[in-house]
Amino acid sequence: MLSGVDLDLEAASLNVITGANGAGKTSLLRLLAGLLALSSGEAEVCGVDLTKGDLRQLRRRVGWLGHEGSFYADLTVRENLRFCALALGRPTDEIDAVLARVGLSPRVDTITKKLSAGQRRRLGLAWLLLRRAELWLLDEPYASLDDQGRTFFDALLADVINAGATVVLSAHDPLRATTLRPRTIGLVGGRVREVAP
């Protein structure tokens, strides 16, 4: 778990949380998403107080992409995105454009469990693009991506940051994590040890 964490994340920035297994990377991401209760201290995310604010409202403004499957395995790519759009009250006519942007158009009617790990990651990105999340929280997003996928992923992150979104991702190795220039937050045993630059 986390303790003594003092962080201030700028809007429209890329932040990489690094640390060994069990350092608290996923816990910090879940806290930022409003998925983990704050037991002590103060925190505000997207203007929502994590101790007494409406966490459900916060969650609607963040996009979460875990390193495990984040979708309904027995629905098709389109059905997953359609469910997301309708749940958020968004129009569904953006789905094709979003799928084209992440390169999944040919797999639109494929059952999600039949996608490769890299394709599922792209579906996750489509899910986040469709949501127009203000804060992107990505848990080990570079896992199972090849070089082409990594380059594509970095370009997409650059675009969403330029559009005003804030991105926080976790990675074991910050140098391999991204070709962008992120702010790096080093976690050791649940505490922030370094922030650079």
Give the SS3 label for residue 137: strand
Contacts of 163 (CB under 8 A, 6+ apart): none
Q: Would you give the binding string for another protein spanning residues 18-37, x where CB under 8 A is met?
A: ------------x--xxx--
d(CA 30, CA 76): 27
**How many CB atoms within 10 Å of residue 30?**
18
Question: Which residue from 8, 68, 146, 173 is in contact with another protein, where contact means CB under 8 A?
Answer: 68
Q: Which is nearer to another protein, 70 or 179 (CB)?
A: 70
The type of residue at 24 is G
**Using rule CB under 8 A, residue 159 touches another protein:** no
d(CA 94, CA 102): 13
Question: Which residue from 57, 116, 148, 151 is in contact with another protein, where contact means CB under 8 A?
Answer: 57
Instruction: Name the nearest CA neighbour of 128 among 91, 84, 163, 96.
Output: 84
Question: Which residue from 7, 75, 145, 158 is in contact with another protein, where contact means CB under 8 A?
Answer: 75
Q: Which is nearer to another protein, 34 or 184 (CB)?
A: 34
Could you say which residues in the range 104-143 bind another protein, by CB under 8 A?
Answer: 111, 127
The type of residue at 137 is L
**Using rule CB under 8 A, residue 69 touches another protein:** yes
d(CA 175, CA 160): 21
Q: Which is nearer to another protein, 9 or 75 (CB)?
A: 75
Interface with another protein (CB under 8 A): 30, 33-35, 56-57, 59-60, 62-72, 74-75, 79, 83-84, 86-88, 111, 127
